[in-house]
Amino acid sequence: MSALTFTIEQRSPRGGARAGTLLTPHGVIHTPVFTPVGTKANVKGILPAQLKALGAEAVLANTYHLYLQPGEEVVQQAGGLASFMNWQGPTITDSGGFQVFSLGAAFGKTISKFVREEAPQEQGVSVYDESVASQHGQLAVIDDEGVSFTSHLDGSLHRFTPERSIEIQHALGADIFFAFDECTSPTETYEYQREAMERTHRWAERSLATHRHNIDANKKQAIFGIVQGGRYEDLRRESAREIASLGFDGIGIGGSFSKEDMRGALQAAVGELPEELPRHFLGIGEPGDILEGIASGMDMFDCVAATRIGRHGSIYTKQGILHLRNGQFTNDFSPLDPETPIPGTESFTRAYVSHLVRAGEMTGSVICSLHNVGFILRLVSGARQAILDGRFDDYRADFVRNYYG
């Protein structure tokens, strides 16, 4: 018996968008939903009570980071992830697969979850998770049994297998967690994408078996399998069929794509997934991509982008991203986004926050991060209401027209 119950309330009259509810041991999640990322059991610059005020219903933390610091035993002794971080609501953990990617194929390269073929020099940030880059160098060696890697903190050697990843995530105690998978670079060959996908399938079976053998965890936690296959639609279909056949409580779409290939790869996978299971699009947080995912039938999203760009002084607005470090905002005394007032930041002006971020004041990054997380939460909440009202296509079209010009 699954530790969660998923109910679809409404489907869009056209396309795959759907609104539902996900009942977990720590509360209800209304979908579609954006889950802010609290990598190390904190969303950078934002307190749990502030997340609640912004409308967050769940947070996602990272297995790799919490394993290294403070250690899963500490989190378990605190009563689990939610108690440890004083979060009153559902929690999710990912498997650590993205961090393996960061230490391996992506380390020291300009490769991220997305790659633009027409502009390879602008492929993205140096690694998926900037906090795994350190002076200790690279080591992430993948074999059929698991992954050996060095800690970005002190260079010590560690080993993850599917069984070990699940054991750690049981100790962390999140309501939802993910099977261990291999995330590949979007530039890998078709042959390697297939090899990694098949290895992910074998790891999925081992992850699921480990979870099902823990009767106590089965009552409290739900496990999602992860679809891989890179940018290749045939591999995505094959992977979706295989993962869906194994009996997971939900499905995650993981890995990496060409930005231009995202729609095809996503729709190829979704077409093979059972309607009754919740679907999580891992690592997706750019506004247009979230709406694309919702239109394709995805229910859950997470990403670090909102706080990452906030720390660098950039904010989302309905007219696109504004880089407040730019001199044009020095005397701009208008609100951050007049069309999207966010609780806690609505009274600050662009001129003031521009001053803070250019002066290197922490408060500027905090204000930008609060605004950005609130903006994405409001975008997705609005999409949910639009689905319930039967007007999602118009909602999406209006947003895209204004945001992208």
Question: Is 389 part of the annotated catalytic residue set?
Answer: no
Give the distance from CA 216 to its chain's centroid. 27
Among 94, 261, 289, 299, the active-site one is: 94
Question: Is 302 part of the annotated catalytic residue set?
Answer: yes
Of the candidates 19, 64, 21, 18, the residue with the CA atom closest to the CA atom of residue 41: 64
Q: Are 275 and 249 in contact (CB under 8 A)?
A: no
Among 175, 249, 289, 302, the active-site one is: 302
Q: Are 281 and 296 in contact (CB under 8 A)?
A: no
Cα distances from 373 to residues 44, 51, 175, 221, in angstroms, run 11, 8, 22, 26
Helix spans in 48-151 (H):
48-54, 63-68, 72-77, 81-84, 97-103
Task: Report which secondary-structure segment, H or E, holds 137.
Answer: none
What lies within 8 Å, CB to CB, of 93 at 6+ separation is: 60, 61, 62, 63, 66, 81, 169, 172, 174, 176, 177, 178
Strand 27-31 to 18-24 pairing: antiparallel
**Residues designated as active site:** 94, 302
